[in-house]
C-alpha cells in the first residue's frame, strides 16, 4: 500500500486523527512516536482511543489500516 493510499484511507475515516506524541503523557512507550487515535464524543466531552502507533507516520497509518474495524 502506498503512502498516498494511506492518506486517502485516513481522509475517508473522519473519526481518526494522526498526531506526533512528544512525552507529556504517562505512557513512555509512545514517547516520540506517531499515533493514530479514534475520536469519540461531542466537542465538550471528547475522548481519544489509541488505534496504532509507529516510528513514522506511514508505519502508524499502515498499522491502523491493518487493524481498524471501523465505527
What is the rounded end-to-end Cα distance, in angstroms, of the chain? 22
Establish how many alpha carbons lie within 13 A of residue 3's alpha carbon, considering only the half-sphere containing its beta carbon: 4
What's the pLDDT tens digit per position in 14-65? 999 999 976 555 556 666 889 999 999 988 998 989 999 999 999 999 999 9
Model pTM? 0.79
For the chain, the domains span 3-67
Question: Distance (Å, rounded) from C-alpha 40 to C-alpha 28?
Answer: 24
CB atoms within 10 A of CB 52: 21
Amino acid at each position: 500500500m502506498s503512502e498516498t493510499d494511506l492518506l486517502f484511507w485516513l481522509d475517508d475515516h473522519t473519526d481518526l486523527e494522526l498526531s506526533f506524541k512528544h512525552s507529556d503523557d504517562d505512557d513512555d512507550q509512545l514517547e516520540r512516536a506517531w499515533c493514530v487515535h479514534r475520536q469519540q464524543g461531542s466537542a465538550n466531552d471528547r475522548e481519544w482511543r489509541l488505534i496504532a502507533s509507529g516510528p513514522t507516520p506511514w508505519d502508524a497509518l499502515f498499522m491502523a489500516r491493518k487493524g481498524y474495524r471501523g465505527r
